Structure 1
Amino acid sequence: MEITNRNLKEYLKRLVRSTIFWTIAMLLFSIFRYFALKNEIGISIDPNYEGFYQLKDSLLNFALGGFLIGILYANIEFLIDKFIAQRSALVLIILFEILLTFTAIITVSNLVLSWWVKNKNIPYVVEPGWWYKDSSFIPALIYIGISIVIYSLITIVFEKFGRGVFFKMLIGSYKQPQETKRIFMFLDLTSSTTIAERLGHQKYSQFIQDFFYDLNEIAAPYEAEIYQYIGDEAVLSWSYKKGVYKNNCLNLFYAFKKKIASKSKFYLDKYDIIPEFKAGIHGGSLMVAEVGVVKKELAYHGDVINTTARVQAKCNDYRVSILTTKSLLNNLDIEGRFIASIVAKVVLKGKEKPVQLYTLTII
């Protein structure tokens, strides 16, 4: 039930994002269209309909149209992302989204226009294929197609840098290092060398692709950002507030286990292996800065990153699948949800003070 609710939450976020974008996009189209029509040679507008109220009506109508397009597009995007996106090239996904959106808009426009003509007694005949004969409808579709491409590119940027980060990069907030507080998880595939030797490099690469694709499906509902992929290891990150909220940083790990278990037949049929993984989790204050010129990205620097990597490495030593530090555990609400067992108090490589490590069992 929890995963279903989180998927619903992710869908609603897409819906809000899509409706806002398309409402704004169609408002802009309305403005361009209104002033273009007034200045187009050969077009005359009845003086009774000129002025502010005509523009206001145009804005309201196109805003409503944009809102409805946003609802349609959010559903199309969500379904494509869930069932098609895994093995399709980005350009094919965008073209498919454009095709489905056009089909939906034309279908809905046919229904609305037919109803409007019939119920308002408008002396207009709705002929088959009216939309491609209409000189104003085709430019609208072209505009919508371009908007889909722009929306897709914006979404890619947001997915790479995280929500809110892109705007801060635009205004140069990270040109100078800033202190932030985050939680990191280093998640590593178990026995990767043995698996790679058994499968061969080509099939192993496909195996890693499938493994990380399943991880991505789990990351979004639990507010996680994928910071890096390093070979067979993924580094996930949360703002500290989002990571501790409803134990997101722990629940993701067990949700991913459940996801892999539900796909065990798929992995056995395709690779004859069910992937297993281990994770180290830790959080605290560190620095973030924009690095690079040709390939810009955000980089985190500080003891938190190094400690999390060392914690994950200790999973093999103590033969457990998850380890976290006491400092992070103290900020999580695990009562009635997890059982925490102390594993060791160790001095991690590169540190002077001992760190208490805990493993967890879900109740």
Structure 2
Amino acid sequence: MKQAIIEFFKLQIVTIIFWILSFCLFITIRYFEVGTEGGKAFVSNYDEVIPITEWLHFSVLVGALVGFFYGIIEFISDKLLIYKFSTGLLILIKSIVYLVLLLLSTSFIVGLIEVQIDRNLPSEPGWWIQNKVFWLVVLYFNICSLIFSFLKIAKENFGHGVLINQLIGKYKKPREERRIFMFLDLQASTTIAEQLGHYKYSQLIQQCFYDLNTVINKFDANIYQYVGDEAVLSWTFDKGIKQNNCVELFYKFQNKLVKNQKIYLKKFGLLPKFKAGLHGGTLIVTEVGTIKKEIAYHGDVINTSARIQGECNKYNQNLLISEYLLRKLNLTNYKIESIGNIALRGKEEELNLFSINT
């Protein structure tokens, strides 16, 4: 609940700023059309030009109001509708809702203009049907809304910060970074798949990763990729060790699954459990591909993380971590046990592994 409230306020801040800037841009462009048919709206009684500062002040108020309600609708659609409708259909539904809200709010906005800027505007019933300025605003609103939706979808598909890094070309050339990786995998996945069948199994994975996504932001994690029933999570090194984020996320996710066990038991007849391997260090980050671009990680760190996770079944553990990363953390509230020096598949040198339990 607390995380949902935080997400709501973050979305509100983003939408309000976005729509304030959008309306300020619209007003600025229209303002310098004074002398044209559109520009007459910025003239009081058609003989005195109203200063742009007054219009910008008005656009800030309208942008904040629109952004507030826009944020509410976006939040509701994200939490309640996103898994019920396709992305295209969801955008269409929201566009219709926004159009209705524009019509309903027009009377208030027109009255606000008349009071604050001394400009008589049409207000008779049905005035908007043939009003060119109104439909220009509707068109502009929908374009801005599509831009916002595109940026939001791009962020969700690329991951936090990835889109910006691609736009500025941060990883056009390989860069060295220190990062932490977690390979998170469903336990007994083959048995569960046979038990449920491919369709129900796919629904199970979808539900599990939905629950995972509800907790990752709290622990500053990024999802690098999904591979079947496995999720690969990543942190910058400092964020991963801060307040033991890389470990805390795993057990927060486990608690989330237990909290929703009634849903899982009713729908799938089982409570899913996950195993994970953790490791960190220096590796190379670069942008790869042309037809489909992706930020890729190359180096021993990511391969070792995957191998550590592969040892969980062998030693009957839910979470294994390398000694190197363990020494960077302060896990006083956890039970730490040494597994010993393990010869991981594909590696010549043995690696000292530890289990982490609550």
TM-score > 0.5 by shorter chain? yes
Residues 1:93 and 2:90 aligned together: yes
CA offset digits 1:306-358 (Å, max 9, x no partner): 010011011101111111122222222323x3332223322322334332222
Partner residue in 1 for 2:350? 354
Q: CA deviation at 1:67?
A: 2.3
Task: Give, as a single letter, the amino acid of the residue that structure 2 aligns with 1:161.
Answer: F
Q: Which amino acid aligns with 2:352?
A: Q
Q: Is the 8 A contact 2:319 2:357 kept in 1?
A: no
Cα deviation, residue 187, structure 1 = 0.6
Alignment of 1:274 with 2:271, yes or no, is yes
Q: Secondary structure at the match of 2:25?
A: helix
Return closer, same or farther for 1:123/1:237 CA change in 2, 3 Å cut-off: closer
Q: Check if 1:64 corresponds to 2:61.
A: yes
Number of the residue aligned with 2:338: 342
> Structure 1 residue 151 and structure 2 residue 151: aligned?
no
Residue 41 to residue 29, structure 1, CA distance change in 2 (3 Å) = closer
2:37, 2:57 → 1: CA distance?
22
- The residue type equivalent to 2:350 in the other structure is P
Output the aligned Cα RMSD: 2.8
Any unmatched runs of 5+ in structure 1? none
Number of aligned residue pairs: 356
Whole-Å separation in 2 of the counterparts to 1:123 and 1:169: 48
Q: Give the partner amino acid of 1:229.
A: Y
TM-score for both structures, normalised by structure 1? 0.88
SS class of match (2:93)? helix
CA distance, structure 2, for counterparts of residue 359 and residue 106 of structure 1: 60
The Cα shift of 1:14 comes to 1.9
Question: Do residues 82 (structure 1) and 112 (structure 2) align?
Answer: no
SS at match of 2:312: helix
Check 1:63–1:321 CA distance in 2 against 1; reply closer, same or farther (3 A cut).
Answer: same
Report the secondary structure of 1:286's partner residue: strand
How big is the shift at 1:148?
Answer: 1.3
For 2:346, the aligned partner's letter is: G
Residues 30 and 38 of structure 2 are in contact (CA less than 8 Å); yes or no, is this contact kept in structure 1?
Answer: no
Question: Is this contact kept in 1: 2:211–2:256, CA < 8 A?
Answer: yes
Counterpart CA distance in 2 for 1:288 and 1:42 is 51
Cα distance, 1:293 vs structure 2: 0.6
- Among 300, 303, 313, the residue aligned to 1:306: 303
Q: TM-score, normalising length from structure 2? A: 0.89
Unpaired segments ≥5 residues, structure 2: none
**Cα separation, partners in 2 of 1:351 and 1:142, compared to 1, 3 Å:** same
Identity percentage of aligned residues: 40
What are the within-5 Å matches in structure 2 for residues 175-186 of structure 1?
A: 175-186=172-183
The alignment partner of 1:136 has SS state of: helix
Match of 1:211 among 208, 211, 215: 208
Is residue 228 of structure 2 the alignment partner of residue 231 of structure 1? yes
1:328 aligns with 2:341: no
Alignment partners' CA distance in 2, 1:74 and 1:325: 42
CA distance in 2, matches of 1:263, 1:163: 26
Q: Measure the CA separation in 1 of the matches of 2:125 and 2:353.
A: 70
How far has the Cα of 1:28 moved from its partner? Answer: 1.4
1:12-43: CA deviations, max 9, x gaps? 32222222222221111112222335333894
Bigger mean CA deviation after superposition, 74-83 or 242-251: 242-251
The separation in 1 between residues aligned to 2:107 and 2:120, in whole angstroms, is 16
